[in-house]
Amino acid sequence: MRKDGELPANTAGPAGPTGPWSLVVPLKPLPLAKSRLAGTVGPVLRPRLALAFAQDTVAAALSCPAVRDVVVVTDDPLAAGALSALGAAVVPDAPAAGLNAALAYGADAARARRPGAPVAALNADLPALRPAELYRVLGMAGQFPRAFLADAAEIGTTLLSAAPGMELRPAFGGASRLRHLSSGAVEIPPDGVASVRRDVDTGADLRAALELGVGPHTAELRPLGEPEPEPEPA
């Protein structure tokens, strides 16, 4: 049995280890996640969507050539099993002191295994995430000691990075864009990386993500009642 925060020996995704980055993805227990979506999708579908968002986020991240491993910080057993099956390492939320404490803990866990790795915190609710766009963001982030990408509303943050030897210093939640700017992190230009900025908290966010094109786990749930896809002609 591994200790809290200790990663398993093999954290590579389906394509095997590739780039230098370790990503940290936080996820609340599913019964508590995405509460603002309940009015749009209902209380039964809401936790299932939260898991599907995280599965599509993690799968896309592990397919990105810049990413070596993904560390998920969660206490939810269902999510832990599903995301481990995709190739993520899962550690419990040992601090149990909120989002930013979980992210700092996850970054420390990743660096305990690979001390020289650049680390980035990534939201778990990016169901439209494109590996090529994440690659572009990480390429820009790697030029600075700390960098971040604002969300689509230009209020919050979807990604915060720290170069090797730099503390992550996460300040997520609410108007985190301004907090990350004031902390000295460099803002990454938003052009051409819409899928990395499109987090989902509300029904309007979900519609915008569906327009971008979501991953298979989210699409399978047909969250806004989309019809079954037409069968291919024989």
User: 89: closest CA among 31, 21, 23?
Assistant: 23
2 falls in which pLDDT band (50, 70, 90)?
very low
Higher per-residue confidence, 111 vs 8:
111
Q: Is the dihedral of CA 72, 73, 74, 75 positive or negative?
A: positive
Q: What is the mean pLDDT of the chain?
A: 91
Q: What is the mean pLDDT of residues 114-134?
A: 97
Q: Identify any residues that bridge with 67 across adjacent strands, giving them in sequence order.
A: 21
User: 103: closest CA among 91, 115, 114, 113?
Assistant: 91
pLDDT at position 14 over 50: no
pLDDT at position 139 over 80: yes
pLDDT digits (tens, 9 = 90+) for 220-230: 999 987 555 55
37 falls in which pLDDT band (50, 70, 90)?
very high
pLDDT digits (tens, 9 = 90+) for 152-162: 999 999 999 99
Beta carbons of 128 and 52 less than 8 angstroms apart: no
Q: How far is CA 83 from CA 44, 62, 99, 115, 178, in A?
A: 20, 11, 18, 23, 31
Residue with tokens 């943050």: 157
SS (H, E, C) 142-181: CCCCEEEEECCCCCCEEEEEECCCCCCCCCCCCCHHHHHH
pLDDT digits (tens, 9 = 90+) for 165-183: 999 999 999 999 999 999 9
19 falls in which pLDDT band (50, 70, 90)?
confident
Domains detected in the chain: 21-216 (3.90.550.10)
Q: What is the mean pLDDT of residues 142-151?
A: 98
Q: Is 42 left (phi over 0), alpha (psi -120 to 50) or beta?
A: left
Radius of gyration (C-alpha) of the chain in whole angstroms: 17
H/E stretch holding 184 reads none
Our CA angle for 188, 193, 196, nearest 5°, is 90
pLDDT at position 8 over 50: no
Higher per-residue confidence, 7 vs 207:
207
pLDDT digits (tens, 9 = 90+) for 79-114: 999 999 999 999 999 999 999 999 999 999 999 989
